[in-house]
Amino acid sequence: MEIIAILLFISIFVLILYGYPVAFTLGGLSVLYAVCFLEASALAALPMRVMGVMNNYVLIAVPLFVFMGIMLERSGLAGELLETMAALMGQLPGGLAVSVILVGALLAASTGIVGATVVTMGLISLPTMLRRAYSPALASGSIAAAGTLGQIIPPSVVLVLLGSVLNVPVGKLFAAALAPGLLLVGLYLMYVLIAAALNPRIAPALPVEEVRMFVGKDFVRRLLSSLFIPLALIVAVLGSIFTGIASPTEAAAVGATGATLLTWGKRKLTWKVLRHVMRETTHLTAMVFIILLGATTFTLVFREMNGDRFLVEWVQNAQLSPCMFVALVLLAVFVAGFFIDFIEIIFIIVPIAAPIFNKLGVDLIWAGILLAVNLQTSFLTPPFGFSLFYLKGVAPPELTTAHIYRGIVPFLLMQVLLLVLIFFFPHILGFKGNCF
C-alpha cells in the first residue's frame, strides 16, 4: 500500500507535467486510487476536511491581499513610484536599475502580485533603460528579479498558504520573512552598484537635463504622494500585524480598504476598474482554493495509504539528520520550480514534508522561510519562470529571450546565496534553525 501511495504521488507529478489541470489531477486521481485500492470508508473523512478548509479563518486573507494588490496596480502607483525614484537616483551610475529594485521592494510590501509588478515595470522602465544604453541583460534581470520580491516580503500570499499548510501562525511567518526579504533587496542593490561601478557603460547615469525634467515644479508634492501614501498603507498593514493589534486576516481587510481609498483619492476608481479588480480577485482566489481542495483530497488518500509513515520510516532507516532531510526537500522544491507553479508545489510537496518536519523536530518557521525563498526562485528559473514570461510579453522586439536568461542568472545566484545563509546561519537572522 505504501508503494501505491508513492506511485500516486509520481502519477500526479507526471500528469501535471503533461499539462493536465492541477486541481482536477490532484483530486480526481486521488479519488480514483482510493476507489481502486482502499475501502469505501476511507473517503468518509473527506467532507469534514473540505469543510475545514472552507472554515479556515486565516485563508480569508488570500482574496483580501489579492484584492489589495490588484487595486493598487490599477491605481497607477507603480508608474508614479518609478518616476519619483528615477528622479532621485537617476544621476547615480546604475540609478535606473536601483530605482527599479527599490520600487519592486515597495510594491512587494504593498501589492505582492508578481505578474502585475513585472509587467508594469517592464512597460514603464524597460524602454527607458534600453534607450539610455543600459545592458539589455542587466535591465531585464533587475526588472524580473525585483518583480518577484512580493513572494518573500510580507504581506505575501505565499506565506499565507505556507502558514496554512505547515499549521504555523501567519503573523510569525510575516515577521520572520522581513529580514531575509530586506537582505535580498540589499544583495540586489549591491550587485547593481558594483556592476555599474566596474563597467559604467552597462548602466550609465541619466543626463542632468533629463533628471531635471523628471523633477519638475511639483516634485515635492509628487514625492509625498507617491511615497508617503504607500508607506502609510504598508505600516498600517504590517504594523498592525507585528504589534498584535490585528490578525493577518484583519490586516488584509485594512489593506484592501486602504488600497480602494487610495485609488479613489487618485480619481482612478470607476465601476469599470472595480469590476476588473473584483473579477480578477475572484478568478485567482477560485484557482487557489480549487487547487487547495484537490490537495486536501490527495493528502487524505496519501495518508490513508500510509505514505507519510513510509516516508518517515525511510528517513529514519536512511539515517538522515533533520538538516539533511530539509536540504533534500529544498532540492526537490528547487527542481520542481523549473517545471511547475509555486502554488502546485506548496500543495503537493509541502503537505508530505510537513509531518516529517514535525517528527524530526524541525523549526517550522525556519522551514517555512526556507521554502518561501526557494519558491521565489521558481519565478526566475528557465524554462518556465513566470516572471521571465511576463517580461518577455511586454519587452521590445530587440530584447531577446537570451538577454533575459543571461540577465537573471546573477539575481538567481543571489537568491541561492540567501537560501544558503538562512540554512547554515539561521541565528544571524533570528531563526531557531536546529541544524547548526
Looking at the domain assignment, is residue 434 inside a domain? no
Q: Which residue, chain included where needed, has cell 500570499?
A: 157
Q: Which residue, chain included where needed, has cell 509513515?
A: 309
Q: CA 343, CA 351: separation in Å to the nearest integer?
A: 12
Assigned C-alpha cell, 256:
484592501
Q: Which residue, chain included where needed, has cell 504593498?
A: 110
Q: Report the candidate in 177, 133, 129, 157 with the shortest Cα–Cα distance to residue 65.
A: 157
Q: How many domains does the chain have?
A: 1
Please, what is the angle between helix 248-265 and helix 170-198, to 10°?
Answer: 50
8 Å CB contact between 357 and 327:
no
* Residue pLDDT, tens place only, 221-242: 767 777 777 788 888 888 888 8
Question: What confidence score (pLDDT) does residue 303 get?
Answer: 81
Looking at the domain assignment, is residue 293 inside a domain? yes
8 Å CB contact between 237 and 155:
yes
Query: How many whole angstroms from its chain centre is CA 60?
Result: 18
11 in helix, strand or coil?
helix
Q: Give ∠ CA 258-56-355 in degrees, rounded to 5.
A: 120
Looking at the domain assignment, is residue 373 inside a domain? yes
Q: Where are the alpha helices (DSSP H) in 247-321?
A: 248-265, 271-304, 307-317
Question: What confidence score (pLDDT) does residue 59 get?
Answer: 82
Looking at the domain assignment, is residue 139 inside a domain? yes
406-to-53, 127, 141, 345, 398 alpha-carbon distances in Å:
42, 18, 8, 26, 15
Question: What confidence score (pLDDT) does residue 275 get?
Answer: 93
Question: What confidence score (pLDDT) does residue 393 get?
Answer: 77
Q: CA 242, CA 105: separation in Å to the nearest integer?
A: 19
Looking at the domain assignment, is residue 295 inside a domain? yes
Question: What confidence score (pLDDT) does residue 370 get?
Answer: 93
Which stretches of the chain drop beneath a pLDDT of 70? 90, 111-116, 209-219, 222, 383-384, 429-436
- State the Rg of the chain over Cα: 22
Q: Which residue, chain included where needed, has cell 482612478?
A: 268
Looking at the domain assignment, is residue 436 inside a domain? no
8 Å CB contact between 113 and 387:
no
What length is written for the chain?
Answer: 436
Assigned C-alpha cell, 364:
517550522
Looking at the domain assignment, is residue 247 inside a domain? yes
The parent domain of residue 215 ranges over: 2-429
User: What is 70-83 written as a DSSP string?
Assistant: HHHHHTTHHHHHHH
* Residue pLDDT, tens place only, 274-301: 999 899 889 888 888 888 888 888 888 8
CA dihedral 164, 165, 168, 169 (to 10 degrees): -20
Question: What confidence score (pLDDT) does residue 435 get?
Answer: 59
8 Å CB contact between 100 and 121:
yes
User: What is 332-373 written as a DSSP string?
Assistant: HHHHHTTTS-HHHHHHHTHHHHHHHHHHHT--HHHHHHHHHH
Looking at the domain assignment, is residue 366 inside a domain? yes
CA dihedral 13, 365, 108, 110 (to 10 degrees): 120
